[in-house]
Amino acid sequence: MPYLQIRVSCAVSYEQKEEIVKDLSPKIVMLPGKSEEKFMIEIVDQCDLYFGGSKEKTNAYINLCINAYLDKEYLEAYTKEVCTCLNKVLKIDYSQIFITHQVLSPWIYAPVIMK
């Protein structure tokens, strides 16, 4: 199950959150073995994010967590989609977006262990 955390320093309306989710959820299939059905997105707005020692501009932190190592090309391609979406919907400049990719293990999906 991929997990995408998006933290931004600006306010995000319900409609903007829905637009982000509708844009990014179907694109998770760009990552081999990943599906929209088991994809979770968290959008946290109005964070005190200081970038370069300042929070004057709108800043964003993206953390993509997955349970398997993937080639850099796949991660970068999906991350470009995330950055493009944040720029389009929230007008966040690319220079104000910080990105991490994490491989987490072990990773368990509750319905698998609750059978």
In this prediction, residue 104 carries a pLDDT of 82
CA distance 36 to 85: 17
Q: 53 falls in which pLDDT band (50, 70, 90)?
A: very high
In this prediction, residue 115 carries a pLDDT of 78
Q: Is the pLDDT of residue 7 over 90?
A: yes
CA distance 27 to 29: 5
pLDDT in tens, 78-114: 999 999 999 999 999 999 999 999 988 776 777 777 8
User: In the chain, what percentage of residues exceed pLDDT 90?
Assistant: 80
**What CATH architecture does domain 3-113 belong to?**
2-Layer Sandwich (3.30)
Residues linked to residue 100 through DSSP beta bridges, in sequence order: 63
How distant is the alpha carbon of residue 35 from its chain centre?
Answer: 15
Instruction: Pick the closest to residue 38 from 114, 112, 115 (CA basis).
Output: 112
In this prediction, residue 16 carries a pLDDT of 98
What value does the mean pLDDT of the chain take?
93
Higher pLDDT, 113 or 57: 57
Cα dihedral 47, 51, 53, 54 sign = negative
Domain positions in the chain: 3-113
Q: Which CA distances in Å does 40 have to 15, 33, 35, 54, 81?
A: 18, 15, 10, 30, 16
Q: What is the pTM of this model?
A: 0.89
